[in-house]
Homo-oligomer: A and B are copies of this chain.
Amino acid sequence: MNLRVRFAETDQMGVVHHAAYVVWLEAARVEWMRERGLSYRALEEGGLSMAVSGLEVRYRSACRFDDVVRIDCALVELRSRHATFDYRLFVEDRLVATARTTHVPTDRRGRAVRLPADWSEAFAPHLERA
Contacts and interface: CB of A to CB of B under 8 A. Distances in A.
For this chain, the copies found in one complex come to 4
Contacts of A19: 8, 19, 22-23, 26
B13 A11 contact: no
Interface residues of A, number: 37
Given A57-B55, A110-B14, A8 B23 contact: yes
A114 interface: no
A59 interface: yes
Given A12-B14, A62-B110, 10 more contacts: A6-B27, A7-B26, A7-B40, A8-B17, A12-B12, A18-B22, A18-B52, A18-B55, A41-B66, A55-B59
